[in-house]
Amino acid sequence: MPKFDVIIVGAGLAGLSAGVELTLKNKKVLIIEAEPVVGGRTSSYNLDGMDVESGFHRYIGYYSHLPSLLRKVGIKLDDILTWEDKIHVRVDEKHPIELGLAPVFGIIKTIKGVLGNSEYLTIKDKLSLIPFFVSGFKDYLKSPEDLDSFNIRDYAKKHGVTSRAFHYLIVPLSAGIFFLPPDRYSAYVFFGLFAPGIPKFYKLRIGAYLGGMTEVMCKPIADWIEKRGGMIMTGTKVDSLQYVEEKIKGVTLNEKINYEADYTIVATTLHSAKHLLKPNFEEHSWFQPMFKLPLMPAVCFQIDLAEPALPLDITTFAPNTCLASFAEQSRTTFRESNGRLSIILTPPEKFLKMEPEKTLEIIMEDAAKIGMDLKTKILDYRQINHVYDFHSLEPGHQKLRPIQQTPIKGLILAGDYTKQPFFATMEGAVYSGIKAAKCIP
Ligand SMILES: Cc1cc2nc3c(=O)[nH]c(=O)nc-3n(C[C@H](O)[C@H](O)[C@H](O)COP(=O)(O)OP(=O)(O)OC[C@H]3O[C@@H](n4cnc5c(N)ncnc54)[C@H](O)[C@@H]3O)c2cc1C
């Protein structure tokens, strides 16, 4: 029976990041991944004949743990990303609202965006955002639990944000970033996501991937681990954890094959983690909060087009439509396509059980409202449902997230839902993996 120092269940960014850290500590690592490719929610793959990504992803310039992981395995950020110093908000058929968000890389655009009047936001509207943001960041630091009891709509109301500023700025940001309407979005999560950017404002900008994320990022990380003696099994689901004499001793596959290790890191989604932990720890008090932490879905839709839908590949929010955030990606992530839209839909629950044909109809109607005529250009499309993949970011749930070190011998958790300050992001997943690896002496 093979014996390892550490078994990691799941080869998403959390599992891969733990894998790199432990390999650097000379641990003998086995990573077991249920899907045929590594990357989890950042994977790219072929779905019934069409190359797709698990979901439209953007790298935020202030990330530090993800770039550090990439450096360790020899990936240069500028080789896999292209940089955007502005985003677009489309509210009607007219030209988009352009928001500069890179104070160093797009100085003029950012200053004009903050200080100028526009047809959508007057200076008065912009000024109404100041007390909202100042109090938000203060509460984020001083009373996080209180802040997590508010949704973003109520918090904006409390601080006198004008309805136009709310509609044209807060709604696109909340729906665009975590695909939730503002009345379901925790104010703590909203401010918490921007907070790490404040001391690193000079790094603010957005990175778009130059290729599928498995291909340019996750597979090279996995290859690095394997080259240094780690083992990675894909297409292999862990059925259960071996719990013997109050210690986790490894995992079981296909109800019969056992792999043993001194430590097991469960680096799956919250949904899978609950499934693996409940048989042994259903009644254990330490696990009760995480068992109560609700799940949240996401739905992504990708359309292959005969020509680009938009003149630029740029992150776009469309607050009056189901297109929470999207981008044309034929010059960036999907360069083999003539035109490619990758869209995250809101609210996800509406689309989860919908036939893709029907979803496409709704997307086409909404796209027309913001001046994108897709009808004559569509070649192919796929809907990718993440039914159980996120922990809930609604108010009141942050306190239910578990830390990585469990009280059970040999058992450690990782994954974006575990406690770390970057919420459900690539940075959060990577940092959770680093924290999990630190639990192992
Ligand atoms: C549509 C979408 C858009 C996103 N946009 C952004 C963005 O713009 N910026 C950003 O920073 N983040 C974004 N994210 C979030 C980011 O992708 C996630 O936070 C991160 O990838 C989570 O990594 P993880 O390792 O925690 O989990 P996952 O990537 O979900 O990895 C868990 C892995 O465990 C495997 N697994 C589960 N059960 C088992 C089992 N029993 N046996 C073996 N393997 C198992 C799964 O197959 C999976 O590969 C987005 C996510 C989605 C879905």
Three-class secondary structure of residue 196 per DSSP: helix
- Domain span including residue 181: 103-196
Same domain (yes/no): 268, 405: yes
DSSP 65: H
Instruction: Copy the structure tokens of residue 396.
Output: 């009141």
| CATH assignment at residue 242 | 3.50.50.60
Which residues face 298 on adjacent strands? 386
Same domain (yes/no): 126, 248: no
Cβ–ligand 1 distance for 182 under 6 Å, the answer: no
**Domain membership flag for residue 265:** yes
CA neighbor of 123 nearest in space, from 108, 134, 131, 112: 112
32 Cα nearest atom in ligand 1? 43
13 Cα nearest atom in ligand 1? 25
Question: What pLDDT band is residue 113 in, cutting at 50, 70 and 90?
Answer: low
Cβ–ligand 1 distance for 413 under 6 Å, the answer: no
Which of 172, 196, 220 terminates a domain? The answer is 196
Calpha distance 18→434 (Å, rounded): 5
Cβ–ligand 1 distance for 84 under 6 Å, the answer: no
Same domain (yes/no): 125, 192: yes
Answer whether the bond into residue 441 is a cis peptide, omega within 30°: no
Same domain (yes/no): 187, 250: no
426 Cα nearest atom in ligand 1? 11
Question: What is 206-230 written as a DSSP string?
Answer: EEEESS-HIIIIIHHHHHHHHHTT-
**Domain membership flag for residue 330:** no
Same domain (yes/no): 256, 189: no
Averaged confidence pLDDT in the chain: 93
**Domain membership flag for residue 206:** no
Cβ–ligand 1 distance for 222 under 6 Å, the answer: no
| 192-229 pLDDT per residue, tens | 988 888 888 878 889 999 999 999 999 999 999 999 99
- Give distance in angstroms: CA of 24 to centre of ligand 1: 23
Ramachandran bin of 371, using left for φ above 0, alpha for ψ from -120 to 50, beta for the remaining angles: left
Same domain (yes/no): 114, 262: no
Calpha distance 409→247 (Å, rounded): 5
Question: What is 118-185 written as a DSSP string?
Answer: -SS--HHHHHTHHHHHHHHHHHHHH-HHHHTTSBHHHHHHHTT--HHHIIIIIHHHHHHHHS--GGGS
Which of 145, 167, 196 terminates a domain? The answer is 196
Overall domain count for the chain: 2
Query: What percent of the chain has a predicted confidence (pLDDT) above 70?
Result: 95
Which residues face 261 on adjacent strands? 4
Whose C-alpha lies nearest to ligand 1, atom 26? 415
Question: What pLDDT band is residue 103 in, cutting at 50, 70 and 90?
Answer: low
Same domain (yes/no): 404, 287: yes
Whose C-alpha lies nearest to ligand 1, atom 31? 12
Cβ–ligand 1 distance for 298 under 6 Å, the answer: yes
Same domain (yes/no): 143, 285: no
Cβ–ligand 1 distance for 404 under 6 Å, the answer: no
Evaluate the CA torsion angle 335, 336, 338, 339 in order and state its sign. Answer: negative
Same domain (yes/no): 122, 192: yes
Same domain (yes/no): 14, 132: no
Which of 196, 222, 252 terminates a domain? The answer is 196
| 269-287 pLDDT per residue, tens | 999 999 999 999 999 999 9
**Domain membership flag for residue 413:** yes
Could you tell me what percentage of the chain is helix, strand and coil, using 3-state DSSP and rounding each to the nearest 5?
A: 40, 25, 35
**Domain membership flag for residue 253:** yes
Cβ–ligand 1 distance for 232 under 6 Å, the answer: no
Instruction: Copy the structure tokens of residue 349.
Output: 């629950």
**Domain membership flag for residue 432:** yes
**Domain membership flag for residue 126:** yes
236 Cα nearest atom in ligand 1? 43
| 238-274 pLDDT per residue, tens | 999 999 999 999 999 987 889 999 999 999 999 999 9
**Domain membership flag for residue 108:** yes
386 Cα nearest atom in ligand 1? 53
Same domain (yes/no): 179, 128: yes
Same domain (yes/no): 186, 130: yes
Cβ 404 vs Cβ 419: under 8 Å: yes
| 17-36 pLDDT per residue, tens | 999 999 999 999 999 999 99
- Give distance in angstroms: CA of 353 to centre of ligand 1: 21
Cβ 287 vs Cβ 417: under 8 Å: no
Cβ–ligand 1 distance for 300 under 6 Å, the answer: yes
38 Cα nearest atom in ligand 1? 49
| 348-399 pLDDT per residue, tens | 999 999 999 999 999 999 999 999 999 899 999 999 999 999 999 999 999 9
